[in-house]
Amino acid sequence: MQARDRVGVLVRRFGLGGGAREVDRYASMGYEKALDALLGFGPVPSQDFPMIRCAYKMEPEEDAEPGFYRFIGHHIHHLLTSPDPVREKLALFYLDHFAVTANDVEHGLAWYHHLEMLRMVAGMKFPQVLELMILSPALVLQLNAEQNRRGNPNENLGRELLELYSVGIGTYSEEEVRDAARALTGLIITDDTWGSGTTYKERLGRMIKEQRPLIGVGFVPVFHDDGEKNVVGLKGKFGWQELARHLANHPLTAKHMCGKLWDFFVGGTPPSRDLDHLVSTYTKTGGDVRAVLRAMTTLDSFWAPGRARVLSPIEWTISIGRAFGQDEDARQTLNPGGPTDGIQEPWWQVVGAIHYHCVQQGMELYRPPSVAGWDWGPGWVSTSSMVHRSRYGLAFSFNEEPKGSGQWHPGGTMRRFVQFVAGRPRATDDDIVRSVEAYFDLELPDETLLALSGLSKEINAVAAFGTTNVQWQAGCLNRLFEALRSAPAFHVV
């Protein structure tokens, strides 16, 4: 496998796709430096536009609206534009791992802090991640952990801590679930939202001025059960912090997490010998998730030919957006401003279209089907979801300019596509199709290539690219892109 092809695998699996644009960016560094650049991201940049802006509106007379549904725009913006795609991919992994649903948790500021935490912990070792995420107010509310008291423990968080977040199902007893719940007693929700002003502008203004959250998780010692406990090898009078550290460093957690990371980034189950290697890396590095990802690249199974993991709706949609340069549209339409300045409608249209199509494909970011998260893999494939994926290209074809004129012209995203194909060999229909394949960084089977070449001939694509008629060229590529979206190879990595 050539170095550029190896970089392409890294970009598809560890990053957020993005086609030739993204692969070229990393391939120019060489393989080793590309791997270092992908995994070497730092803390969340301080110059990131603040999520709280999404709560404010352009009309000065309107109150702020910090609903979880408005923060989705910020999330999509960073998935689309971040120069550090592995951070955003890991944050997406943790969004699923520590799943919270808006069906149960509607408190917008609880969501705000949950989402901030997911991006913050993305590069941390898992013991730190687990300890911090237990203090997410959204997670506590989701699992009713604020009701967990000495003498009357609520087992929800204790059970999910064992089953979903650490050692995995079938590795503990019901007595250990109860003891885990007892260790977690004393956590409470502190919520200053309603006492911080009469309007949301006043409340959020106080939060910004004092640089502190309005909702958080506290600990009340008199509510805590300090008796003897026994949870998967940890015995004594311990609390939630000791339990979290013990579980995060447990061999069963290492195996559970490494298997889950492989399934999320590569797909399926790794060979047992390879899983042992990843578990060894996790253990030696103290739960360093990035070290586990790097260790994956040393395994032959990581580089095995073929692509098998079905992309989730958000990954598929974001990958297309990054390939088309829609990240540039998002940056350009984000008007400058501070934390309390509203965002103009063109930006909301960009991120809103992505969210809408993800929902139509069966995935609403903040409404997973259960606290176990989504079922990543073939479950994303259904007649309904494929129909909606086939329609997604409408966002990248033509714009009416000027509005109401009835005159349709290729938009910026489609013009980038045209420029890419025009800059490559285009003497034959096979040339045109190979350029389309390269633009999205695909590996199409022979039967798909043959079908697309036949379509290219039917629509006279070679003739179109022998002219300077951009509208004709864009029309041909739009037809090819439409056909491509029906190809199974376009939906896997």
pLDDT digits 0-9 by tens, 86-141: 999 999 999 999 999 999 999 999 999 999 999 999 999 999 999 999 999 999 99
* Distance from the Cα of residue 192 to its chain's centroid: 30
Determine contact, residues 59/201, Cβ cutoff 8 Å.
no
Element (H, E) at 190: strand 187-191
Q: Report cis status (omega within 30 of 0) of the bond before 402.
A: yes
pLDDT at 396 over 70: no
- The highest-confidence range among 1-5, 149-153, 375-379, by mean pLDDT, is 149-153
Of residues 311, 308, 258, the one with CA closest to residue 17: 311
Q: Model confidence at 306, in pLDDT bands (50, 70, 90)? A: confident
The chain-wide mean pLDDT, for the chain, equals: 94
Of residues 420, 481, 447, the one with CA closest to residue 23: 420
Mean pLDDT lowest among 22-26, 84-88, 326-330: 326-330
Mean pLDDT to the nearest integer, 11-40: 96
**Contacts with 209 (C-beta within 8 Å, 6 or more apart), sequence order:** none
The model's pLDDT over 152-172, given as tens digits with 9 standing for 90+, comes to: 999 999 999 999 999 999 999
Q: Give the per-residue pLDDT at 412.
A: 84
Determine contact, residues 454/25, Cβ cutoff 8 Å.
no
Question: Considering the chain, what percentage of its residues have pLDDT values greater than 90?
Answer: 88
The position carrying tokens 């300890």 is 131
pLDDT at 457 over 80: yes
Cβ atoms < 10 Å from Cβ of 28: 11
The model's pLDDT over 253-268, given as tens digits with 9 standing for 90+, comes to: 999 999 999 999 999 9
What are the C-alpha distances in Å from 280 to residues 6, 132, 255, 273, 295?
24, 24, 9, 11, 10
The model's pLDDT over 44-97, given as tens digits with 9 standing for 90+, comes to: 987 778 999 999 999 999 999 999 999 999 999 999 999 999 999 999 999 999
Question: Considering the chain, what percentage of its residues have pLDDT values greater than 70?
Answer: 99
Q: How far apart are CA 394 and CA 409, in angstroms?
A: 13
Report strand pairing: 215-219 vs 398-400.
unpaired
Burial environment of residue 211 by CB neighbours within 10 A (0 to 12, 13 to 18, 19 or more): exposed
Q: Give the per-residue pLDDT at 246.
A: 98
Q: Model confidence at 395, in pLDDT bands (50, 70, 90)? A: low
Determine contact, residues 98/145, Cβ cutoff 8 Å.
no
Mean pLDDT lowest among 50-54, 84-88, 181-185, 325-329: 325-329
Q: How far apart are CA 79 and CA 410, in angstroms?
A: 25
pLDDT at 386 over 60: yes
